[in-house]
Amino acid sequence: MSDAATDAGEELAQSTSDASLTRSVERSREIRAQIEKDPTGFRVMTGDRPTGNLHIGHLLGSLQNRLEVQQLGVETFILIADYQVITDRDGVGPIRERVYSMMADYLALGLDPVTTTIFTHSSVPALNQLMLPFLSLVTDAELRRNPTVKAELDDTGDRPMSGLLLTYPVHQAADILFCKANLVPVGKDQLPHLEQARVIARRFDERYGRAVPDQPVFRAPDALLAEGGAVILGMDGAKMSKSRGNVIELGMTADETAKVIKKAVTDSDRHITYDPVNRPEVSNLVNLAALFLKRDPYAVAEQLGDAGGGGLKKLVTEAVNEGLAGHRARRAELVAHPEHLQQILHDGNDRANAVADATLAEVRTAMKMVY
Ligand code: TRP
CA of 5 to the centre of ligand 1 (A): 24
Residue 367 burial (C-beta neighbours within 10 Å; 0-12, 13-18, 19+): middle
- Length of the chain, in residues: 371
Q: Give the architecture-level CATH label for domain 3-231+338-366.
A: 3-Layer(aba) Sandwich (3.40)
The two domains 3-231+338-366 and 251-335 share their CATH topology (first three levels equal): no
* d(C-alpha 80, C-alpha 83), whole Å: 9
* d(C-alpha 182, C-alpha 46), whole Å: 11
Q: Give the architecture-level CATH label for domain 251-335.
A: Orthogonal Bundle (1.10)
What ranges do the domains of the chain cover? 3-231+338-366, 251-335
Residue 3 burial (C-beta neighbours within 10 Å; 0-12, 13-18, 19+): exposed
* d(C-alpha 227, C-alpha 357), whole Å: 35
* d(C-alpha 118, C-alpha 110), whole Å: 13
CA of 272 to the centre of ligand 1 (A): 37
Query: Cβ(81) to ligand 1 under 6 A?
Result: yes
Is-contact 196 146, C-beta < 8 A?
yes
Q: Spell out the per-residue pLDDT of the chain, length 371, in tens.
A: 344 444 455 555 555 678 888 888 888 889 989 999 999 999 999 999 999 999 999 998 889 889 999 999 999 999 999 999 999 999 999 999 999 999 999 999 999 999 999 999 999 999 999 999 999 999 999 999 999 999 999 999 999 999 999 999 999 999 999 999 999 988 888 999 999 999 999 999 999 999 999 999 999 999 998 765 667 899 988 888 777 778 999 999 999 999 999 999 999 999 999 999 999 999 999 999 999 999 999 999 999 999 999 999 999 999 999 999 999 999 999 999 999 999 999 999 999 999 999 999 999 999 999 99
Query: Cβ(177) to ligand 1 under 6 A?
Result: no
CA of 325 to the centre of ligand 1 (A): 28
- Edge to edge, the sheet with strand 43-48 lists 116-120, 75-80, 43-48, 183-186, 222-225
Burial track 11-42 (b if 16+ CB lie within 10 A, e otherwise): bbbebbeeeeeeebeeebeebeeebeeebeeb
